[in-house]
């Protein structure tokens, strides 16, 4: 069983979390390089699971279309929302309070070297979380992420995903809507998809759910799906 360092960053600005991810990824890659140069004395690489919330921010993936941002710089400033073009896959999405953002910084050499399988595992975590709340999370052909209402013909996205990998080390991850202000998605074409909507756990359940409670469920399901033990860094 892999041991993964768990960190709950709380509310953190997107740029700060992005820089932290880059720093952790770089440290893991450096260890892997050292191991190749010194195969007789290999060090175990670390993996991390970061949970956080961000103040309002739109992020555009490297293959995304800037036209899917519907607000100009003046409007963004007025609304107090940041914008970043970043190095993950996927198009544009929104992060904000009431949304659980999860960044796995995993060395897939310790799991499996298959990005598509990794994405399916992330989706499975979310599907199992939704099952805990008696909701049917589903995959949608041709679209990464987790949806509700696919079988009913009215797909609603509850979790967006976008990742990057370098030397089989992952970064970025998923954003699960718990109680996020869905009106903020009106400033973009979410994930570049025009004919489907976005939803949240609280909207679907028609009641308040605490993000802290959902975070605990996510930790449990990550442990189940990826067969990992979550530990504090000092205990690694």
End-to-end CA distance of the chain: give it in Å, rounded.
13
Q: Which two tokens stand for residue 12?
A: 């953190």
Catalytic residue among 52, 159, 191, 202: 191
Please say if 191 is a catalytic residue: yes
Exposure string of 70-108, with b = 16+ CB inside 10 Å and e = fewer, is ebeeeebeeeebbbeebebbbbbbbbbebbbbbbbbbbb
Task: Kindly state the helix (H) or strand (E) to which residue 174 belongs, with its residue range.
Answer: strand 169-177
Residues 23, 18, 58: CA angle, nearest 5 degrees: 170
Strands 228-231 and 2-11: parallel
Phi, psi angle pair for 93, to nearest 5°: -145, 175
Around 102, how many Cα atoms within 13 Å sit in the side-chain half-sphere?
27
Point out the residues that are catalytic: 191
């Amino acid at each position: 069983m892999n041991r993964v360092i768990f960190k709950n960053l709380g509310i953190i600005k997107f740029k700060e979390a992005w820089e932290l991810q880059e720093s952790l990824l770089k440290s893991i890659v450096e260890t892997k390089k050292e191991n190749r140069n010194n195969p007789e004395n290999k060090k175990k690489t670390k993996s991390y699971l970061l949970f956080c919330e961000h103040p309002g921010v739109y992020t555009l993936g490297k293959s995304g279309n800037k036209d899917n941002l519907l607000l100009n710089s003046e409007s963004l400033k007025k609304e107090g929302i940041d914008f970043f073009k970043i190095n993950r896959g996927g198009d544009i999405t929104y992060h904000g309070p009431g949304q659980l953002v999860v960044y796995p910084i995993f060395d897939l050499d310790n799991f499996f070297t298959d990005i598509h399988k990794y994405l399916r595992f992330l989706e499975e975590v979310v599907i199992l979380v939704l099952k805990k709340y008696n909701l049917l999370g589903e995959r949608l052909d041709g679209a990464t992420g987790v949806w509700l209402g696919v079988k009913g013909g009215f797909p609603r996205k509850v979790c967006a995903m976008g990742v990057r990998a370098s030397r089989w080390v992952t970064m970025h991850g998923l954003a699960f809507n718990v109680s996020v202000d869905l009106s903020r998605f009106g400033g973009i074409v979410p994930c570049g998809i025009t004919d489907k909507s976005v939803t949240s756990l609280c909207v679907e359940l028609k009641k308040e759910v605490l993000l802290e409670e959902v975070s605990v469920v996510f930790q449990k399901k990550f442990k189940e799906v990826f067969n990992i033990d979550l530990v504090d860094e000092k205990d690694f």
